[in-house]
Chain A
Amino acid sequence: MIGEARFGMRQPADIAQEELEKAAEAAHRLGAKLYVNMNKLFRNHELEALPAYLRAVKAAQVDAVVFGDPAVLLNAREHAPDVPLFWNAEMTGTNSSSASYWGRRGASRAVIARELNEEEIVDLKAKAAMEVQVQVHGMTNIYHSHRNLLESYMQHLGREATLIRKGPDRGLYLVEAERPDEKFPVYEDENGTHVMSPDDICLLEALPELIRAGVDSFYIEPLLKSDEYNETVLRSYREALDRWHRDPEGYAFDEEALENIRRLQSPDRELGFGFLYKEQVY
């Protein structure tokens, strides 16, 4: 999945509109699909750019557009018909009925909230007549604001705002008083302020359960990780999925693969199952 901050949130880097075609070609040459992230919530003045971008996406023969804002849906129907649409409303994609709702309006895939547990994922996939994508690895966004909270804080302290360089991976963390061991990555960009989870999801061990549930796509979040880390993670999941497909009966979890990830895992960040085995209250 690629994109740029004008249309999609939290891309590790911007890939410009002019490069979409080259990127799609490169992916297709390797037998891979290329999706474009347009999951931002748009403002009136940002709508103007949607038609041209969607036409470029279509011309580049990109395999799908990821959206959260209904404005993208309306524009895609007109300017990129036939390009598959994936619905991703982040924290708010929580049940099969809402997934199906967007399915009936053109989405072929639902990207579901990271805050669902396994039972809910299984149930959602069983009931939604569309593809389901689950994040299996990496950090998750847990707070998004259109405010420039870091810049505001620097102003409050009377400091130069230069400390807060825009964009991800600036080494900024929040630490809550009662949780000194948890570091929450935080950054600002043109879309506002993003706070990220203090630990990384790692569902490598749970892959067979998710495959059996019928999950169609396993997403690895590369944000704020080194290339070496991302390559290792990707290889581990690739290898596990391939082994499963070759021989589901004989499949066994490869502890070594997890160890390889652990070796590169930042000591500040725990690897865990996210919300997969959790019960939440409210």
Chain B
Amino acid sequence: MSPDSRAAPLSTRNSWHRVVAAWRRFEAFHDEMFVAPWRQGLEREARRQDDTFRALVMLDALGVENPVAYETMELIPHLVGDLHAWHQRMGQDTFGDPGTCC
């Protein structure tokens, strides 16, 4: 096989790789430019629902009597992790007694 005949498929393969790489870059740009705001909207909606749920679970901590506190109490440990971000998002710089959260 002459060197020329080997070079041709290699160059075609390189060109193909370049095309694929350019397509991937364009995909990444497109996702960041057009899809990201949309996904952001989805995440915002999911967070809004989470916030409502968290408020219901933590009614007692907010000073409202919760008729199903016994059932929801076991969920509280799962919600403590991002408690700080939540109360700040709700407009309260600190949460409850000093040391409870921050």
Are A and B co-members of a single complex?
no
By a beta-carbon cutoff of 8 Å, the part of chain B in contact with chain A is none
By a beta-carbon cutoff of 8 Å, the part of chain A in contact with chain B is none
